[in-house]
Each structure stands twice: as C-alpha cells, then as structure tokens.
C-alpha cells in the first residue's frame, strides 16, 4: 500500500510547541510527516536554515516517522521531489485564513493533484507565533512553556550573541 505522506512546510524560525502539536497530531493520520524548512524567500530570519533544521531534529528526536528537510524554491517542486500529495498547515485564528487560502489556491493552480489540509491549532497554543516568541526573548522574557527546551536555550544564546555583536 502507498505510504501516506504529509509535508508540513514553514519558516520555523523557530519551531514552537504549536508546531510540535500539529506534527504529533498529524502522525496519527499520516505514515510519515516531512517538516520542510523554507529558506531563500522574502522573509528575514533569525536562525539560518541549518540551525532551524537542527533545532527541529533535536526537538523531535524519538519520532521515527518525522523527517526534517529544507527547500529554497517552490513548495510544489519540493512536493514532487518528496513524492507527497498533501501539504499540512496549522490554522490559529480566522486572521490566518486569508493568507492560507491564497497560498493554498496558488499552490493548487500550480499542481492540481496536491491538496492543502488545515489543522486547527490546539487551544493551549493558538496565541503562540515564532514572531512573538522572538520578541519576548529579545526583551528578556521567558518562553519555556511555549517552545521545546533546546529552542529556548538557542534563542537566549542567539540574543546574547547579537547584543555582544552590537556593543
Ligand atoms: O511559516 P510561514 O512563513 O507562514 O510559511 C510560509 C511558506 C514557507 C509555507 C510559504 O511561504 C511557501 O511555501 N514558500 C515557498 C515558495 C512558494 O512555493 N511560493 C508559492 C506559494 S504562494
């Protein structure tokens, strides 16, 4: 029987417990989840693609059906290479919907045989975003309950490095 594969693409700058929750729930539906870190598009990131991949691998070690990859071009091209037909995205609030709807529609016009599946973010995580996580840590706040331990450590290190560099 053909393996059921979902690709979960995103910036993951950095991965949060909201993302981890989506991945764990997807593993109950799919045989394999490929977490795909996007780079090389119009978004400035705090962590390099390699750092983001490594953080995700460490946060998800023990999950044998999770593969962590990265891509720099069109998601639909990556889907073909991965031989996957389902894109997985999390929806936190109605405000996410418009952006996601446009992206899913554009992707569908590029590849008619690929579908985007939305999973509603768990109630404990709907307010978490990578952007606000970075802001809180940069201002000295704690995000220990919102991101994996290795991620909160890396965030602290990154901002200490940045502050040293700015002096
Ligand atoms: O976590 P994000 O930043 O919301 O993820 C957005 C992402 C990376 C999934 C999206 O921007 C993407 O797929 N980029 C790759 C380029 C692409 O395929 N663009 C066409 C679809 S609009």
Number of folded domains in the chain?
A: 1
Q: Is the CB of 10 under 6 A from ligand 1?
A: yes
Joined tokens for residue 148: 């994996």
Contact 133, 146 (CB under 8 A): yes
Nearest to 57 by CA among 124, 6, 12: 12
Confidence of residue 160 (pLDDT cuts 50, 70, 90): confident
- Choose which residue among 35, 36, 53, 75 to substitute to test ligand 1 binding: the one with the highest number of ligand atoms within 8 A of its C-beta: 75
Q: pTM score, two decimals?
A: 0.95
Confidence of residue 167 (pLDDT cuts 50, 70, 90): low
* CA distances for 144 relative to 16, 106, 128, angstroms: 10, 36, 12
CA–CA gap between residue 120 and residue 98 (Å, rounded): 15
Contact 100, 120 (CB under 8 A): no
The domain containing residue 156 runs over which residues?
A: 5-166
| CATH number of the domain where residue 140 is located | 3.40.50.620
- Residues of the chain with pLDDT > 70: what percent? 99
Residues 6+ apart with CB under 8 A from 79: 7, 85, 87, 111, 114
Residue 95 annotated to the active site? no
Residue 92 annotated to the active site? yes
Confidence of residue 48 (pLDDT cuts 50, 70, 90): very high
**43 CA to middle of ligand 1, Å?**
10
Nearest to 144 by CA among 134, 153, 135: 153
**167 CA to middle of ligand 1, Å?**
35
Round the average pLDDT of the chain to a whole number and report it. Answer: 95
Nearest residue by C-alpha to atom 20 in ligand 1: 74
pLDDT at residue 143, as a whole number: 97
**62 CA to middle of ligand 1, Å?**
27
Q: Is the CB of 107 under 6 A from ligand 1?
A: yes
């Amino acid at each position: 029987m053909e393996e059921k594969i979902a690709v979960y693409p995103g910036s993951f700058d950095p991965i949060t417990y909201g993302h981890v929750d989506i991945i764990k729930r997807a593993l109950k539906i799919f045989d394999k989840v490929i977490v795909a870190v996007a780079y090389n598009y119009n978004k400035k990131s705090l962590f390099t693609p390699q750092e983001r991949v490594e953080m995700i691998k460490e946060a998800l070690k023990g999950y044998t059906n999770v593969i962590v990859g990265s891509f720099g071009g069109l998601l639909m091209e990556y889907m073909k290479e991965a031989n996957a037909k389902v894109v997985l995205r999390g929806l936190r609030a109605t405000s996410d919907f418009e952006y996601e709807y446009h992206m899913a529609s554009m992707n569908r016009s590029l590849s008619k045989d690929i579908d985007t599946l939305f999973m509603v973010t768990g109630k404990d995580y709907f307010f978490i975003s990578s952007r606000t996580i970075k802001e809180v840590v940069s201002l000295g706040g704690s995000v220990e309950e919102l991101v994996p331990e290795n991620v909160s450590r890396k965030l602290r290190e990154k901002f200490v490095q940045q502050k040293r560099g700015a002096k």
